[in-house]
């Protein structure tokens, strides 16, 4: 199973968790929903270092996403992130995890994520 991540504020998820789809509000402003692989999330996480609101990570089963998912390069970095060109079906969400941070606001990888990938040496 290929798993991709989507981060969101817990309060937003609580409002939407009973919907059949998530991300419809995002799609009103953007052509796709920005997601990440587990391996690349360490590059996304610094954007949320100073965010005080409680966040969660959605683990999404790539194969259950009904719309197009394109892996697109971010600014000539050779890092390709999954972008979902449609809403995320609730049925594709296999797990929600808390977004963990250390005392300095740095993301801590949830132990549960380690079940879904083998880290690569990417220096």
- Output the six-digit token pair for 35: 């997601």
Instruction: Establish if 123 belongs to a structural domain.
Output: no
Q: Is the pLDDT of residue 120 over 70?
A: no
Number of domains in the chain: 1
Instruction: Establish if 46 belongs to a structural domain.
Output: yes
Instruction: Yes or no: say if 7 and 57 are a contact pair by the CB < 8 Å rule.
Output: yes
Q: Is the pTM of this model over 0.85?
A: yes
Name the residue range of residue 63's domain.
Answer: 3-114
Q: Is the pLDDT of residue 121 over 70?
A: no
Residue in this structure with the two tokens 């949830």, named with its chain if needed: 110
Once rounded to an integer, what is the mean pLDDT over residues 9-32? 92
CATH of the domain at 75: 3.20.170.20
Instruction: Establish if 53 belongs to a structural domain.
Output: yes
Once rounded to an integer, what is the mean pLDDT over residues 4-32? 93
Instruction: Establish if 119 belongs to a structural domain.
Output: no
Could you read off the pLDDT of 67-89 as tens digits, one per residue?
899 999 999 889 999 999 999 99
Could you read off the pLDDT of 36-63 as tens digits, one per residue?
999 999 999 999 999 999 999 999 999 9
Q: Grade residue 117 by pLDDT with cuts at 50, 70 and 90.
A: low
**Can you say whether the dihedral through the CA atoms of 116, 112, 82, 103 is positive or negative?**
negative
Instruction: Establish if 106 belongs to a structural domain.
Output: yes
Q: Is the pLDDT of residue 4 over 60?
A: yes
- Output the six-digit token pair for 27: 């799609």
């Amino acid at each position: 199973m290929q798993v991709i991540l989507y981060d969101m504020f817990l309060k937003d998820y609580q409002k939407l968790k009973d919907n059949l789809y998530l991300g419809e509000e995002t799609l009103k402003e953007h052509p796709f929903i920005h997601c990440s692989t587990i391996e690349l999330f360490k590059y996304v996480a610094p954007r949320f270092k100073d965010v005080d609101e409680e966040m969660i990570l959605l683990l999404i089963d790539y194969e259950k996403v009904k719309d197009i998912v394109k892996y697109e390069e971010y600014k000539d970095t050779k890092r390709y992130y999954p972008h979902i060109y449609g809403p995320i079906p609730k049925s594709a969400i296999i797990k929600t995890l808390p977004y963990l941070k250390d005392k300095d606001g740095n993301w801590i990888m949830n132990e549960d994520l380690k079940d879904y990938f083998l880290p690569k040496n990417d220096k």
